[in-house]
Amino acid sequence: MVIIKFFERLLKKSGKALFGFLIGISMTSFSQTKIEVEVLPPLLNPDKPIFIALDYNNWNPGDSKYMLKKESEKVYSIVLENSPASFEYKFTQGTWMYVEGTPDGQSLPNHSFDRTVQKGNFQKTSILGWERQVLYDIIIEQIPENTPQDSKIFIAGNFNNWDAGNPDFELRKNINGQYVFKLYTDLQKIEYKFTRGSWETVEARESGKARPNRTIFRDSSIDNKAVTCQIEGWEDLLGTLHVYSIFDFLLLFSVFQGILLLITVPFTQKSNTEANRWLLGSVAIASLSILLYLTSNFQVFVNRFPRMVVLADFVYFLYGPLFYFYLIKLLFHNKKLPGRWYLFFIPFLLQFFAYLPFIIQNDKTFLLDLMDQKPLLQEIFGGAGILGLFWNIFFWILYRKLISAYKKQFENTLSYEQNLNYLNVVLVLQFLVLCFWAFSMVLTLTGKVTKLENVILVENSTDLIWLMFSFTTFIVGFFAIHHNEIEQVPGHAAGVAFEDMLESRISNTPQFNIQTQQEDLSEEVETLEKYIECEKPYKNPKISLSELASEIGISSHVLSKIINEHYSQNFFDFINGYRVEEFKKMVKDPKNQNFTFLGLAFEVGFNSKTAFNRAFKKITNLTPREYLDSFKN
């Protein structure tokens, strides 16, 4: 009560002065403002109204609350309720494609209103012109037959923040049955797609796969351009689990075969479990990546699981080390991996942390960045692709060195050939993958620099890369199940990193024709020759260096020295030489006329026709048939 009486006395004393002061403050801060504008040039789009975009409505160019009222033929007005004392604004026709400018089409500074300067709540201004932007007449000449009759078609792109159903970007059907839209923009590169109002109803390829963004590069020499398009299909009208090409079937087959390997190998292959672990790791990574790549071609999956687009990229830095360690365990008696083997996985960790900001983004932001091809996103994903290419080239060289070292070591310890053809086929396929990978990178960079439209070529090249990569999984898996009898040879991987293990330290392989001061081995040589002549151990297809050394009572090391230094041969050629000579004797014997060449080859110790023909040609410079003909003559 005391406070109320105080204000009553204060009002009586100050009276009208205080009341006027309060009203003044109120009108200075927020009040009603009227803007009247005279439109001198014709409207860019006669069907669209005029809007005012203000700094205090976040420069929204088409807010219905800020649509101007038409007063006469060229005069429009708007009353702004509760407007601040000062603000900036511009006039549009609903989008920033239609924004006021100078009479010659240049950009215009913002209008400004300041109530303290105006000394009133009314401002009159004019629209002198419209910003001159390139006009693109977008024309859809054909849509899929299964398009619903009542469908509306919209255009979404980097010019409208990829809004899939903005009514201001709806195409209109003309009398010719075409869908048309006038697009005004000053963007140097336009990217866009057509939808039926949402990203679930976005256009697709005829096969149902997601299509890349359509692109238009601005030509400064033109003021307008007609762009004709055809919509091949809609993703939502073709189903989500349909597969439409032999390419998809082959990739799916590879994935299923990988799953089959993951299930069967642990239970059926007990001979080399360490190698199988690395094999299954590489197969799992390859199969998962192939599946992610395949499903990422369908927008319906991408909309639900956007991260699958980038998760397949992790195969770049994971597959190489896994397959490398598989080869080490498959071919060599290595109880330990190369020293500092974990360093091989550092590139994968770097890639993961580089991708992490995009992985933790919310789905909508990530999809918008992906469709808009943000520079940072392109730089990181493109950089990962280029570095991944060089990383896999490095490992391909290691694969070759590893297999070459195995062959050399094998020839010094065993007398029969190993079937490594499937590994050679895998190397060839991997080489082709690397070639097409490099070709795809060159195409992509060329397209960005020259602005050539080569998206289809890049896509086909990428599909071919994944197809050939899937074949490597199939081949390795098939031989892992059906041909697992590869003989291991000694190797020393402990403490050796990267390609060092493929040099002299991989084995104790002796070098031929090296003159060293050795003890007299003439007695052992004589013992060896007598034993071979009498016992003919070469007829044993599986005879090995250690087995022969045990039979004649000397160490494997001494026997290896004798063969390498006295005969200047490796163990493989040494034994095959005796086999070939025995074959010559047997083929001349009339008692053996009923035997075939292959039968005699098996009799003297060869384990295959290929091994026999290759050894015979190497030692005699003649094929078995040529030798027989010369013998008869």
CA 153 to chain centre: 32
Q: What is the pLDDT of residue 109?
A: 92
Q: In degrees rounded to 5, what are phi and psi of residue 615?
A: -65, -40
**24, 55 contact by CB (below 8 A):** no
Per-residue pLDDT band at 509 (split at 50, 70, 90): very low
Reading phi first (left if > 0) and then psi (alpha if -120 to 50, else beta), residue 457 is in alpha
Q: What is the pLDDT of residue 490?
A: 63
Name residue 332's beta-bridge partners: 489
Three-class secondary structure assignment of 569-590: CCHHHHHHHHHHHHHHHHHHCH
Domains of the chain, start order: 27-130 (2.60.40), 134-237 (2.60.40.10), 246-482 (1.20.1070), 536-632 (1.10.10.60)
Q: What is the pLDDT of residue 238?
A: 59
pLDDT digits (tens, 9 = 90+) for 350-379: 999 999 998 888 888 888 787 777 888 888
pLDDT digits (tens, 9 = 90+) for 510-524: 444 444 444 567 787
Question: What is the distance between the alpha carbons of residues 197 and 210, in angstroms, rounded to a whole number?
Answer: 16
Q: In degrees rounded to 5, what are phi and psi of residue 574?
A: -60, -50
Nearest to 488 by CA among 537, 539, 544: 544
Question: What is the distance between the alpha carbons of residues 412 and 571, in angstroms, rounded to a whole number?
Answer: 5
pLDDT digits (tens, 9 = 90+) for 584-624: 888 777 777 777 777 887 887 787 777 788 877 888 788 87
Per-residue pLDDT band at 124 (split at 50, 70, 90): very high
Nearest to 416 by CA among 567, 611, 260: 611
The model's pTM = 0.67
Tally Cβ neighbours within 10 Å of residue 416: 19
195-226 exposure pattern, b = at least 16 Cβ within 10 A, e = fewer: bbbebebbbbbebbbbbebbbbebeeeeeeee
171 token code pair: 């195409």
Pick 8 or 619 by higher pLDDT: 619
